[in-house]
């Protein structure tokens, strides 16, 4: 059992989306205490080809300097921030300017080669915040309530198969195309059937987590010019198991639910806001919920701005 949530402000303007998503996830805390995560879109204001890297670094003498040197020698660091985390780890956040998106994954793989260092993500149009522990603690650590944006997705995790750490916290991301994220509640039981053809196409999987499989699948479809709605619709046909998941893209949010309807999903919409979540208790944090809709088995919904 995990909690998932997504919200879109239809006017494309900046809103306190971090605050709203924090409240939504806090309301879903009972669905998963292991870790929590946010993908907050639209508020970074980066120039073209600028990217933010979030790097988990163990607190060891000289290690942070080694990471900085590794990044800086590849692409000059334009700004940086250090966010203390828990369990003797620090999150090192830095901004770099690449020549193109295709340089991002190789840079991440290069930094990942350093022992006790994991690049949690690299992004241009959204801010990734994910860590172990409770939403309220993560919110304070990362000042999530101060973050502005146009739309967001988020997650509270109750781990089933894979381990509890920052990297396995949701959202998951892929680098097939820029800035696609997924949060997920459930299991993909035909995991290898989905993963094998994607690997043969060149997708690089970093974990055995089924959520990573979903984000690669969706990104693959989007890269073939599927719309978000079409990609979600096809995913429900291709994936087996009990699941509901929410996808974030640079211009929208969508939700899909398995064909037997074994995981929850509700949505509410008015002229200003489109919101989806595991439970009504999260939706009521962003809007009036007198008219909520149940996502039906096999159904998908999306809103793009």
Contact residues for other proteins (CB under 8 A)?
30, 260-261, 264, 266, 279-281, 284, 289-294, 296-298
When the beta carbons of 19 and 70 are compared against other proteins, the nearer one is 19
Our CB check for other proteins shows the closer of 100 and 290 to be 290
What count of other Cβ atoms lies within 10 Å of the Cβ of residue 231? 25
**66 or 280: whose CB is closer to other proteins?**
280
CB of 156 to other proteins, least distance (A): 15
From the list 1, 2, 143, 206, the catalytic residue is: 2
Distance CA 213, CA 304 (A): 23
Residue with tokens 């700004």: 79
Least gap, CB of 218 to other proteins (angstroms): 24
Q: In this complex, which beta carbon is closest to other proteins, that of residue 181 or of residue 244?
A: 244
Least separation in angstroms between CB 16 and other proteins:
21
CB of 264 to other proteins, least distance (A): 6
213 labelled catalytic:
no
Give the catalytic positions in this structure: 2
């Amino acid at each position: 059992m995990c909690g998932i949530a997504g919200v879109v402000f239809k006017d494309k303007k900046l809103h306190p989306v971090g605050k709203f998503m924090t409240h939504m996830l806090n309301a879903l805390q009972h669905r998963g205490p292991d870790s929590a995560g946010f993908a907050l879109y639209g508020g970074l204001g980066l120039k073209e080809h600028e990217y933010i890297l979030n790097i988990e670094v163990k607190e060891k003498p000289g290690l942070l300097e080694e990471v900085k040197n590794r990044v800086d020698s590849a692409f000059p660091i334009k700004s940086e921030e250090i966010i203390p985390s828990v369990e003797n780890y620090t999150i090192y956040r830095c901004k770099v300017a690449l020549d193109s998106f295709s340089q991002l994954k190789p840079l991440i793989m290069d930094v990942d080669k350093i022992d006790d260092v994991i690049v949690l993500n690299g992004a241009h149009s959204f801010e990734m915040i994910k860590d172990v522990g409770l939403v309220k603690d993560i919110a304070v650590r990362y000042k999530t309530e101060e973050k502005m944006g146009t739309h967001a997705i988020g997650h509270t995790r109750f781990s089933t198969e894979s381990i509890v750490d920052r990297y396995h916290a949701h959202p998951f991301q892929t680098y097939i195309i820029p800035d696609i994220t997924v949060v997920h509640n459930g299991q993909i039981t035909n995991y290898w059937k989905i993963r094998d053809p994607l690997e043969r196409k060149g997708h690089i999987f970093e974990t055995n987590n089924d959520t990573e499989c979903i984000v690669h699948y969706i990104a693959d479809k989007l890269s073939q010019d599927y719309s978000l709605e079409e990609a979600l619709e096809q995913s429900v046909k291709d994936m087996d198991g009990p699941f509901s998941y929410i996808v974030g893209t640079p211009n929208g949010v969508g939700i899909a639910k398995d064909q037997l309807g074994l995981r929850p999903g509700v949505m509410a919409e008015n002229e200003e806001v489109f919101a989806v979540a595991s439970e009504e208790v999260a939706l009521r944090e962003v809007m009036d919920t007198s008219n909520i809709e149940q996502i039906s088995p096999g159904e998908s919904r999306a809103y793009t701005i």
